[in-house]
């Protein structure tokens, strides 16, 4: 586990008061791990659950998508609230709401599996409770990123964000596996266990989060979503999540149509590709902790590497080529995701960190919604078209000139 960070007071940012507790990343890492594991377990189980409840595939997809929509709508509000009321109370309230709503969602599914209610009632319950869970969970990444920005010096923020990203990556890999193992006994067992894990994370955060706040008080002005300082971070965040979710949704079809595999082999190949993605994300984000590159350089290099991985899939004709392309693409994304949060945090003042983190999280959520939709539409043109599209987007991001991008840290150095 990494040692606690000591706030070092980069130029332009306030120093914490003497005696302020140092931020320990371990509780945030545990929270990221268990919540990601729970959410990915739900995604892995929704297909069999929908089939048993008589739901159409589009209804299952809607139940998953509504969580991302709620995330987009509420992330900025949660982040701005943490600027006004403090990181600890908002993070605990958001996670507490997620614990309750996700537990209600799991309990409703167990009830529905046992009683077989009308399809419309099962669909309505899934959409409502999944939306509530997504809306509350929107507070967690936004406030967690702002908390890191409060405590961690600018040059070290990408490494701190990458540490949390690695924990999420482990949860992303473990979630479907845990769900599959437990579902061998019953579909109810993974739901009950994954509903309990976020509650444990809430207890850990309540015990270990700093009780003394040292972020700057929110200024009278309101951070606009059109703020020019956030254009690059928002564009990178959206395109990165758009690319990842596009690749996730089309991989099974690609294995069927381009690799000419049967249904069973295609499912295996797609599952292995997604497992490789999780592994690459973990390794790449652990590497970020060792690098001394700036967030901007990490984004450029990560987008270029990821574009290369996606472009290689245009030539893929075997499962091994598919897995290699996904590994390279995900490794690049492992550099991009933590760096974009650090880039955004370094571009604004201390009193805007919560709103900024919420804005970037909303851009992530929008990419999560549009990626599967656009990806499947483009796939109808050609199996390789989605990969060509995301590779082009990432190349453009890598080549985006940095002129005019002046951060708070740079202003502090000039002053």
Say what the pLDDT of residue 236 is: 92
160 and 5 in contact (C-beta within 8 Å)?
A: yes
The pLDDT value recorded for residue 94 is 94
Predicted confidence (pLDDT) per residue in 174-211, tens digit: 777 777 778 777 888 888 998 999 999 999 999 888 87
Residue 217 is predicted with a pLDDT of: 58
Provide the pLDDT for residue 18: 41
Look at residue 214 in the predicted model and tell me its pLDDT. Answer: 58
pLDDT of the residue at 9 = 37
Global pTM reads: 0.74
The pair of structure tokens assigned to 191 is 């739901």
Alpha carbon separation from 134 to 64, 97, 292 (Å, rounded): 9, 10, 34
All residues at 6 or more sequence positions from 332 whose CB lies less than 8 Å from its CB, including other chains: 284, 301, 302, 303, 304, 305, 306, 307, 308, 309, 394
Q: Which domains does the chain have, with CATH numbers?
A: 24-211 (1.20.1250.20), 227-401 (1.20.1250.20)
DSSP state of 86: -
Tell me, what's the pLDDT at 116?
Answer: 92
Classify the C-alpha dihedral 200-206-207-209 as positive or negative: positive
Three-state SS for 5?
A: strand
Beta strands in 33-136 (DSSP E): none
Cβ(253)–Cβ(383) under 8 Å?
A: yes
Residue 135 bridge partners (DSSP): none
Q: Which residues of the chain are modeled with pLDDT < 50? A: 1-20, 220-221, 404-415
């Amino acid at each position: 586990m990494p040692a606690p960070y000591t706030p070092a007071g980069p130029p332009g940012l306030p120093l914490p008061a003497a005696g302020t507790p140092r931020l320990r990343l371990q509780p945030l890492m545990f929270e990221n791990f268990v919540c990601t594991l729970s959410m990915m377990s739900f995604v892995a189980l929704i297909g069999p659950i929908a089939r048993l409840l008589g739901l159409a595939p589009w209804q299952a997809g809607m139940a998953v998508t509504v969580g991302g929509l709620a995330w987009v709508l509420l992330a900025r509000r949660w982040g701005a609230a943490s600027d006004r009321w403090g990181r600890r109370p908002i993070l605990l309230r958001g996670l507490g709401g997620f614990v309750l709503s996700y537990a209600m969602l799991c309990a409703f599914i167990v009830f529905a599996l046992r009683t077989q209610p009308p399809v419309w009632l099962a669909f309505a319950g899934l959409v409502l409770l999944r939306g509530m869970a997504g809306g509350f969970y929107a507070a967690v990444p936004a406030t967690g990123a702002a908390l890191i920005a409060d405590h961690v010096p600018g040059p070290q923020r990408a490494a701190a964000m990458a540490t949390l990203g690695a924990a999420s990556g482990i949860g992303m890999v473990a979630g479907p596996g845990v769900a599959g193992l437990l579902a061998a006994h019953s579909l109810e067992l993974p739901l009950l266990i994954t509903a309990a894990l976020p509650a444990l994370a809430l207890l850990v955060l309540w015990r270990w989060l700093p009780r003394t706040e040292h972020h700057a008080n929110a200024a009278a002005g309101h951070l606009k979503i059109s703020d020019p300082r956030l254009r690059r971070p928002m564009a990178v965040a959206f395109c990165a999540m758009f690319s990842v979710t596009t690749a996730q949704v089309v991989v099974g079809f690609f294995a069927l149509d381009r690799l000419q595999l049967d249904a069973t082999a295609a499912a295996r190949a797609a599952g292995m590709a997604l497992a490789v993605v999780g592994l690459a994300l973990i390794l790449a984000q652990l590497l970020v902790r060792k690098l001394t590159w700036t967030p901007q350089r990490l984004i450029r290099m990560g987008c270029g590497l990821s574009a290369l991985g996606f472009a290689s899939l245009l030539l893929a004709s075997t499962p091994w080529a598919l897995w290699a392309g996904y590994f390279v693409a995900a490794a690049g994304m492992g550099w991009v995701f933590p760096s974009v949060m650090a880039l955004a945090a370094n571009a604004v003042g201390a009193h805007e960190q919560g709103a900024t983190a919420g804005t970037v999280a909303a851009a992530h959520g929008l990419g999560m919604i549009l990626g599967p939709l656009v990806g499947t539409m483009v796939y109808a043109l050609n199996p390789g078209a989605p990969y060509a599209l995301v590779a082009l987007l990432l190349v453009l991001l890598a080549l985006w000139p940095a002129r005019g991008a002046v951060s708070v840290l740079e202003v502090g150095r000039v002053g």
